[in-house]
Amino acid sequence: MTEPLRLVVLVSGSGSNLQAVLDAEAAGAPFLVLAVGADRDGTGGAERASSRGVPTFVSRVADHDTRADWDAALTRLLDAYDPDLVVSAGFMKVLGPAVLGAHRVVNTHPALLPSFPGAHGVRDALAHGVRVTGCTCHWVDAGVDTGPIIEQRAVRVEDGDTVETLHERIKVEERAMLVDVLTRLAADRSWRTPLP
């Protein structure tokens, strides 16, 4: 049997995507969550990790003199786990060059990129009046939600949707998409070429 894909998952909020990854791992999916990192204290994601016995760490931008110092500190925290892949699952910070130079990172985003990047993908799609939106899993590059797309799932906007109702339906698709993508990346590791 091939070795499981070793993951560190980064979160900022409730961590329902993380939960889907942990549940899939428990059900035999070919990956292993080594640790969960957050950019703030008291996230639901860290709580979910702890209740499964998964180590957690917090790295707050505000605890560093510069953004570059935070980037370097987060890189060291990630390095310590030596993951195959870092998963940004509701992590609401743009990762810096040190992290991206040392680690492969995938992100999940609640809109059909390249439409509606940024921190308010659901709100912006709804405000624009689109009838179909969805979610995207992509490689992270130096831009904001600009990296190569790995997978997308579509979700219809229903009359009367609010940001909350729409986001909840997107997240159902997003959790399944993320687990499918990680399963595929575990099965075919040809993406693991050396970082430039």
**Which residues of this protein are in contact with ligand GAR, per CB under 6 A?**
11, 13-17, 45, 89-90, 92, 108-110, 119, 121, 171, 174
Handedness of CA 143, 122, 54, 1 (dihedral sign): negative
Q: How far is the CB of 166 from ligand GAR (least distance, A)?
A: 11
Smaller CB separation from ligand GAR, 13 or 55: 13
Q: Are 46 and 39 in contact (CB under 8 A)?
A: no
Peptide bond into 4 cis (omega under 30): no
Smaller CB separation from ligand GAR, 79 or 123: 123
Radius of gyration of the chain (CA): 16
Smaller CB separation from ligand GAR, 103 or 171: 171
Active site residue 138: no
Considering 64, 103, 109, 120, which one is annotated as catalytic? Answer: 109
Indicate the residue whose CB is closest to ligand GAR: 90
Q: How far is the CB of 109 from ligand GAR (least distance, A)?
A: 5
Q: Are 140 and 173 in contact (CB under 8 A)?
A: no
Q: Are 182 and 21 in contact (CB under 8 A)?
A: yes
Annotated catalytic sites, by residue?
109
